[in-house]
Structure 1
Amino acid sequence: MTQHPPPGPGFGPPPPQYTPAPPAYAPQPPYAQAPQPPYAQAPQPPYAQAPPPPQQATTGPDFLAVDKRNAVVVDASGVAFETSGHTVEFRWPEIRGVHYRASPDGKALMVAVVHMDGRFYECVVEARPRTRLQEWFPQLAWVLGHYRPAG
């Protein structure tokens, strides 16, 4: 029968001389600890002092025309165009005029914003089905008349 040597260091519990000494103080049980204050948080102002979010700040009618790539929005804040993922917003004080018409082939709504400095911006929204274009015209006229009355 072959005898094996005793296991080397690293096997089994450490010898008593390497055991850590007990702490000099006895830890308090959890129920005796003082309650910890919560993490510091920035003070929150009362709701009455906080400004409302932009989407709630607008009141009144709005108009929305959307296709796969483009959109036109007219609301209390002004006119916004979205073209292929890029958005341009025009606030009412910077708008000289808003014009709209059907495209030459009658398949799209063309909306133009004339800026106060004379620059001209246009967005074309495809109307599918084609009858939607005839629904958009009276809606757009009414909303524009609400925010930009003639006279």
Structure 2
Amino acid sequence: MTQHPPPGPGFGPPPPQYAPTPPPHTPQPPYAQAPQPPYAQPPYAQAPPQPAAAGPDFLAVDKRNAVVVDASGVAFETSGLTVEFRWPEIRGVHYRASPDGKALMVAVVHLDGRFYECVVEARPRTRLQEWFPQLAWVLGHYRPMG
């Protein structure tokens, strides 16, 4: 049987002289404690769905992307990934036609200045002209000017 040398520094527990010692004035909790509450969910974890208050909503959808504006805020879905922005965290919402006139471009400006955009193809092209007044009305309901 081959004998291996003891592990080098960095392996195993630290020597006792390096173990942290508690401050003398702090009482140590007993080992048998009540169960700790579970860790809080990270901020990116999805919150359980909340019923939105009654109000108008807007939906533009194509094969890959979608834009939803409702009482809770603005949501973008792009290739199966959804990002939701609640009204209190939104600085502004902008929209326009794409340069070729075939899609709706919607942008959300976050309070911290970050900018998010979603592009939804309008098929038929006339649908774009239907979306503009609907989107303007819904945004005006939730974010009145002035």
Structure 1 residues 37, 93: CA separation in 2 closer, same or farther (over 3 Å shift)? closer
Query: 2-side partners of 1:2 and 1:49: how far apart?
Result: 54
Query: 2-side partners of 1:5 and 1:121: how far apart?
Result: 57
Q: If each structure's helix is expressed as a fraction of its own residues, which one has the higher value? A: 1
* Structure 1 stretches of at least 4 aligned residues deviating more than 2 Å after TM superposition: 1-41, 45-54
Structure 1 residues 97, 23: CA separation in 2 closer, same or farther (over 3 Å shift)? closer
Q: Does 105-114 or 12-21 show the bigger shift?
A: 12-21
Deviation of 1:94 after TM superposition, in Å, equals 0.0
Structure 1 residues 84, 148: CA separation in 2 closer, same or farther (over 3 Å shift)? same
The unaligned stretches of length 5 or more in structure 1 are: none
Question: Which entry has the higher C-alpha Rg, 1 or 2?
Answer: 1
Deviations 1:79-128 (A, max 9, x none): 00000000000000000000000000000000000000000000000000
Q: Give percent identity, aligned residues only.
A: 92
Structure 1 residues 61, 121: CA separation in 2 closer, same or farther (over 3 Å shift)? same
- Asked if 1:70 is matched to 2:77, the reply is no
Query: 1-side partners of 2:109 and 2:3: how far apart?
Result: 100
Q: Does 69-78 or 18-27 show the bigger shift?
A: 18-27
Query: 2-side partners of 1:90 and 1:2: how far apart?
Result: 62
Structure 1 residues 83, 28: CA separation in 2 closer, same or farther (over 3 Å shift)? closer
Query: 2-side partners of 1:59 and 1:47: how far apart?
Result: 26
Structure 1 residues 13, 65: CA separation in 2 closer, same or farther (over 3 Å shift)? closer
TM-score (norm 2): 0.66
Query: 1-side partners of 2:99 and 2:14: how far apart?
Result: 91
Query: 2-side partners of 1:94 and 1:20: how far apart?
Result: 42
Query: 2-side partners of 1:116 and 1:17: how far apart?
Result: 49
Structure 1 residues 58, 103: CA separation in 2 closer, same or farther (over 3 Å shift)? same
Query: 2-side partners of 1:63 and 1:142: how far apart?
Result: 9
Deviation of 1:25 after TM superposition, in Å, equals 68
The unaligned stretches of length 5 or more in structure 2 are: none
Q: Does 9-18 or 85-94 show the bigger shift?
A: 9-18
Query: 2-side partners of 1:36 and 1:121: how far apart?
Result: 38
* Partner secondary structure for residue 141 of structure 1: helix
Deviation of 1:59 after TM superposition, in Å, equals 1.1
Q: Does 29-38 or 68-77 show the bigger shift?
A: 29-38
